[in-house]
Chains A and B, each alone.
Chain A
Amino acid sequence: MSHIIEFDQVWKIFGAGESETIALQNVDLTVETGEFVSIIGPSGCGKSTLLRLIADLLPPSKGDIRVNGKTPRQARLDRDYGMVFQAPTLYEWRTVLKNVELPLEVMRSAREDKRGRAVKMLDLVGLSDFQNHYPRQLSGGMQQRVSIARALVFEPTLILMDEPFGALDEFTRERLNLELLDIWAETHKTVIFVTHSISEAVFLSSRVVVMTPRPGKIARIIDIDLSYPRNFETRESDRFFELVTEVRETLKEEFTRGEIDD
């Protein structure tokens, strides 16, 4: 199966009657295995909802979703995806290292070297020196890096990231962008990446999905034809600026009062 994600006329409606909220309206989306797809849109347009539907943390109201050719539920049970939530969601009674080991523990991973893998992942996100700290001894950005390490540690084929770098400074964010691209290139994973930052979306993705304000619909899907591997020079190329402008224009068309930070 080369379509790793298929949305067929998917709706998500919260509540009923007066308090009804249409979070997603008739979403059609296909993602190929190995793609890096960003989802961008104003706050409240249903980006997190979209991820939660893929993750089987919410059921769709209408329409059909396939993940890895299976129902989202089956994909979840098969541990096909790793999720990075919008908030770090660490367990405060576990040290940083134990937090990263958590998925391996739960999955009773046969992989013998749990500790070793966790250490490697922490190294990757630059937190080797904080293995034995507790989450509350870390800054918000550091906590989010722990949660990224935790999502990668069991090597899922699909990675769902909900604004993982939203709380980070520009410099760290760009460094982690590069590292994420490295991981993606090395492991041939598929990444679905929610962000508020236009430049981040363009820099990382093979495609950018632009959503409309509530009710969330897909306004346009923009192909990012910048070649990989990307680096700091990519950000300075003319094509990069053209694409950033294109995404920005699309977003501007879709809503008058934007909440985009770029």
Chain B
Amino acid sequence: MVNSEWLTGMTRGSAGNVDSRRWQASILPPLLVFVVVLAVWELGVRIFQPPTFLLPAPSEISRTFFANFTELWTYGFNTFREAVAGFALGCGLGILVAIVVARSEVLSSVLLPFAVASNSVPIVAMAPLAIVWFGIDEGSKIAIVAVMCFFPTMVSMVRGLRTPSPAQVSLMRSYAANEWQIFRKLRWPAAMPFLFNAFKICATLSMIGAIVAEFFGGSVKFLGVYIKTEANILRTQNAWAAIIVACILGLSFYFAIVLLERKLMPWFTEEN
């Protein structure tokens, strides 16, 4: 009794070690690279002493980051809200359209090439037009982000909904399942990995899209506008600090989706 309990305790312990070792292996190398790059940067600036507006030292940027903390994060979250709203709108519409398109063989094969081609269209370049249509405030930024998220989501989702094999569909037919059941119990879950792939792409895209769209104008209380104005008056350390905020928000968005994926699709993410 005591012996076996001690044994199971052991195995659990060592399994935990393996887990944490794997985690360390995946997080440690990039962390190391990051630290080295920062060190070289800091050292380079100290040695060559370029003017601050050309290249501020990491220590200078971090000083600014903490000095303007509230301001930066307020702007950050303003922009983040646009990104999330655009993401929700674009991905939501993408899913809805995909559901309709995927139902038809013809529609899928006619529309998909266009949707794929749209990947190479610089959608942010339409930001000035969006401002004309939706105004200088959040509306135009949300619209740009939404359009950016729409196409990848739609393409992935159409592919995902059409991925079940004929045999998997036949199985449902053999149960005399109706269309809704085939959708709900087969096509939708089969499309989940595709959808989350799109979500991960769109999470990154949406933060980039919102900031770049803001470069074309808007209130100064947003990250993109702030970066642009600060860079224009050569207070580049402020711009750099704002970029760090953007990075943190973008990465958090991405990892929130990865976490959700792990939670919703253990069958997909558990072990390679």
Contact = CB atoms under 8 A, between A and B. Distances in A.
A154 B198 CA distance: 38
Q: Point out which of B173, B175, B185, B189 has the most chain A C-beta atoms below 10 A from its C-beta.
A: B175
A142 interface: no
A-side binding surface: helix, strand, loop or mixed?
A: loop
Nearest to B181: A106
Contacts of A81: 174
A91 to B, nearest CB: 7
B167 interface: yes
Contacts of B171: 83, 85, 89
Interface in B238-272: 265-268, 270
B178 to A, nearest CB: 9
A106 B189 contact: no
A180 to B, nearest CB: 19
A93 interface: yes
A91 B176 contact: no
B173 A57 contact: yes
B184 to A, nearest CB: 10
Q: Point out which of B165, B170, B190 has the most chain A C-beta atoms below 10 A from its C-beta.
A: B170
B192 interface: yes
Contacts of B265: 93
Interface in A82-96: 82-83, 85, 87, 89, 91-95
A89 B176 contact: no
B78 to A, nearest CB: 38
B130 interface: no
Nearest to B178: A106
Contact of B185 (A57, A87, A92, A102): A102
Contacts of B172: 106
Contact of B267 (A83, A92, A105): A92
Contacts of A105: 185
Interface string A67-89: 00000000011110111010101
Interface of B: 165, 167-168, 170-177, 181, 185-186, 189-190, 192, 265-268, 270
7 nearest A-B residue pairs (beta carbon) = A106-B175, A134-B267, A93-B189, A89-B167, A106-B177, A77-B176, A93-B267
